Structure 1
């Protein structure tokens, strides 16, 4: 290191030279560096004395690099650009880098957002961005750092790690139950308005599949509300419009808050589960590792 320092010129003088060479002006270099024109001129004069040859030709109202000055300018520019790029990369990989997390609307609304404040308190230096979308997009080609998905765990755009599975059972509001009367068995559900939601996911459990698990045939002309998203079905149930299917992981907090009531002891295990998915061909972020570690801890203690 000591030999390297002896070979290099003073950094202050080299910085002044690089700016003057790039801008072709001592005055503009001084403005960029926030010093006087005389200070830039003095630093370059010291550099030329150290080298023993001129770096600029001082012409009338302009300066030009000498041949040796051009060589030094190219080397200094490349070196400074390399340092700037490296610093930018280090900063982008730092602990305060933004972490983009993708999740479905229902999972984000009912599970992730009520819990994520705990992660932010533990890691206030990490900036989080929640991307809520039901349409599944590739995490390899998007700006998503990791995704939380419901499915079988086999996705070509990333490596999946199991978080937890789930169970499904009927739910409604306490007010609806008071007016509708007691519901004891799956067969008792058939006469009630059954709230459903549209989905293209073949692993998602609907009323027909749920009732069939208990040898009950779903009514051909159901009276219940049909919603575009699962979150709408849950809010419809909370507002007393009928009975919906509740995914335990999503509605457990609402049941604990008595905003929803579970009907019957009957439930079925889901065919799919929740996974955290990490892109296979993107650099791994330290913030992402910490978030997945937090997900494991919360998942292990979740109901």
Structure 2
């Protein structure tokens, strides 16, 4: 059971008086009379049973209790106003918030997003680009798009919507001394991802090849792993779509064939909110576009 609250307009009047340090100025801001605001203050005093102001000459000065309550009211009104504005904007222009890795967003999603905008001009896609680690802490996105969901809770994995196959292979700069021999990938250095190191293990299981690399370096983003490979720092395992531009430009070469990972790309919906019709449209488009990209 929650405590009964005074009317919202009473709390708004009280917060305005404290913030503006004047009943008259608060009345002007709220579009009410001086008497109406004074009456609301008296009602709040009576309901709370505590004094919220001290006399200061002919005016009022909020005391410690008044300042504490005014701060709580201001925060609550600010949150309410912000959330109401979000809902109002959504009603006027539906929005889908999508969280994904910065590499996926810049390397594949954004270049293809114009097609979705043309098909659904009334739906806004709001991207949150982050690292794989931070994606696991995402709380506000309607959808989290990813390929590696092993680190997610079982309930999140169960809700995941499969989008398309993911295809991984080993890449390196032209001329880098990496080779396949006797069931092994041999290279001086292997490039690892700080937060999705399972890619190498999955690649080894899928291909049956063991990796022999005496040295390794790691980076927090796939984009950095690919840049390191382009710079000749080692071999990297990469999703084909994300490495395609470098492969086509000759900055990278495929040391191995690309092979599908079992789980593929997926979208994990928000834990508490049901999937909106707009989010469902985006999921369907994304699935079709990802599959077409490797067809």
Which aligned pairs between 1:182-261 and structure 2 lie closer than 5 A?
Answer: 185-187=180-182, 190-199=185-194, 201=196, 203-206=198-201, 209=204, 213-214=208-209, 217-219=210-212, 222-223=214-215, 225-229=216-220, 230-261=222-253
Kept in 2, the 8 Å contact 1:95–1:125? The answer is: no
Kept in 1, the 8 Å contact 2:132–2:196? The answer is: no
Matching residue of 1:6: none
Matching residue of 1:137: 136
Kept in 2, the 8 Å contact 1:172–1:243? The answer is: yes
CA drift of 1:144 comes to: 1.5
CA drift of 1:242 comes to: 3.1
- Matched residues in 2 for 1:149 and 1:106: separation? 11
Aligned CA distance change for structure 1 residues 297 and 168 (closer, same or farther; 3 Å): closer
- Matched residues in 2 for 1:295 and 1:161: separation? 11
Matching residue of 2:112: 115
Q: What's the TM-score, normalizing by structure 1?
A: 0.58
- Matched residues in 2 for 1:126 and 1:248: separation? 28
Kept in 1, the 8 Å contact 2:230–2:252? The answer is: yes
1:235 counterpart SS class: helix
Higher strand share: 2
Kept in 1, the 8 Å contact 2:179–2:187? The answer is: no
- Matched residues in 1 for 2:288 and 2:83: separation? 34
Which aligned pairs between 1:73-88 and structure 2 lie closer than 5 A?
Answer: none
Kept in 1, the 8 Å contact 2:144–2:269? The answer is: yes
Query: Any idea what the Cα deviations from partners look like across 1:153-212, whole Å, max 9, x if unmatched?
Result: 8841472111122232221223x35xx5xx774559755323321445574224983697
Report the structure number with the largest CA radius of gyration. Answer: 1
In the alignment, structure 1 segments of 5+ residues that lack a partner are: 1-17, 34-39, 42-60, 66-83
Matching residue of 2:293: 302
Which aligned pairs between 1:94-105 and structure 2 lie closer than 5 A?
Answer: 94=91, 96-105=93-102
- Matched residues in 2 for 1:201 and 1:257: separation? 26
CA drift of 1:213 comes to: 0.7
- Matched residues in 1 for 2:26 and 2:136: separation? 48
Matching residue of 2:168: 168
Count of aligned residue pairs for this structure pair: 232
- Matched residues in 1 for 2:125 and 2:168: separation? 34
Q: What's the TM-score, normalizing by structure 2?
A: 0.59
Which aligned pairs between 1:142-161 and structure 2 lie closer than 5 A?
Answer: 142-151=139-148, 155-157=154-156, 159-161=159-161
1:144 counterpart SS class: coil
Kept in 1, the 8 Å contact 2:147–2:265? The answer is: yes
